[in-house]
Amino acid sequence: MPEGDSIFRAARALHRALAGATVTHFESVFPRLNRVDEDRPLAGRTIDRVEARGKHLLIWFSPSTSLGAGPSTSLEAGALVLRTHMRMNGSWHIYRAGERWRRSRDDMRIVIRTPEIDAVAFSVPVAELDTPDAIERTDVLRELGPDPLAQDFDADDALRRLQSRGDVEVADALLDQSAIAGIGNIFKSEVLFAARVNPFARVADVGADRLRKAIDVAVKFMRANVGESSAGGIVTYSGLRRPTSSDPSARLWVYGRAGKPCRRCGTPISRRKQGPYVRSTYWCEKCQAG
């Protein structure tokens, strides 16, 4: 499943390609999206912005020009927002007009066309098109925890939300999007290793200072992976120089490195399934013993 940094980069690329452009064509395989488009057509609207919230990607469309002038053209009355969630296999692609798609049309879920760009969502399982008020009221957005990639990230709020999950193992608490948004399975293991926190400890047994350290590391790691030079693929470890290996685990402290020596102490990295969704957790039993 894409993590928050991947969605952030996708939203940034879509924003640069689409913001300010006029929609000339919209299509989707989702009947509920098509019903909205039939009632309130997207064609003719301007794409105001594209943004990421945790693992959700939001595309904001201006009020329709057919609404005419006056109060009815306000954002609340006329604008629409498309929310997508990638889950495991979804992705957005950007193509120049007329450019051949790199994936099969059978995988197409949404197309947003402007005079110069085709933005295509492939294999996206979750999509919702509605007014800004309705989108903001959805449980998945309303209950999102603080996003480490947001400019207004509130570390104190994130700490309070994590501490309220006292009986939950800390690795599972970090994956709870209502506690802190955007962290996925890779960052979970990497953050807890860097903060020297046992992933199987209950949140209540992890001191506030250690939890705060994990939050700080999450912010550091995630923001480092959305810089302009970030090319995709999470990097948390670079050793003496940035690795060039095609093996993703070469760029990580522990994730995907089961049985290999810990980069700090040499102890073999451990791996165990954890949590209600049986996700893999990687950790060093010596460095994260506490």
- pTM, entire model: 0.89
pLDDT, tens digit (0-9, with 9 covering 90-100), for 248-285: 788 999 999 999 999 999 999 999 999 888 999 999 99
What pLDDT is stored for residue 277 in this prediction? 84
Domain boundary pick from 108, 142, 176: 142
Q: What's 44's domain CATH number? A: 3.20.190.10
Is the per-residue pLDDT at 74 higher than 50? no
What pLDDT is stored for residue 69 in this prediction? 40
The model's confidence at residue 232, banded by pLDDT at 50, 70 and 90, is low
What is the signed CA dihedral for 89, 94, 96, 101, rounded to 10 degrees? 0
What is the signed CA dihedral for 240, 246, 248, 252, rounded to 10 degrees? -10
What pLDDT is stored for residue 66 in this prediction? 58
Q: Are residues 110 and 173 in the same domain?
A: no
pLDDT, tens digit (0-9, with 9 covering 90-100), for 149-183: 999 999 999 999 999 999 999 999 999 999 999 99
The model's confidence at residue 231, banded by pLDDT at 50, 70 and 90, is low
CA 27 and chain centroid, separation: 24
Q: Are residues 8 and 135 in the same domain?
A: yes
Q: Are residues 159 and 138 in the same domain?
A: no
pLDDT, tens digit (0-9, with 9 covering 90-100), for 120-139: 999 999 999 999 999 999 99
Q: What is the domain range of residue 36?
A: 4-142
What pLDDT is stored for residue 240 in this prediction? 47
Q: Are residues 22 and 123 in the same domain?
A: yes
Cβ 57 vs Cβ 47: under 8 Å? no
Q: Are residues 187 and 100 in the same domain?
A: no
Mean pLDDT of 212-233: 88
Q: Are residues 101 and 222 in the same domain?
A: no
The model's confidence at residue 246, banded by pLDDT at 50, 70 and 90, is low
Instruction: Please measure the distance between the N-terminal and C-terminal CA atoms of the chain and give it in whole angstroms.
Output: 29
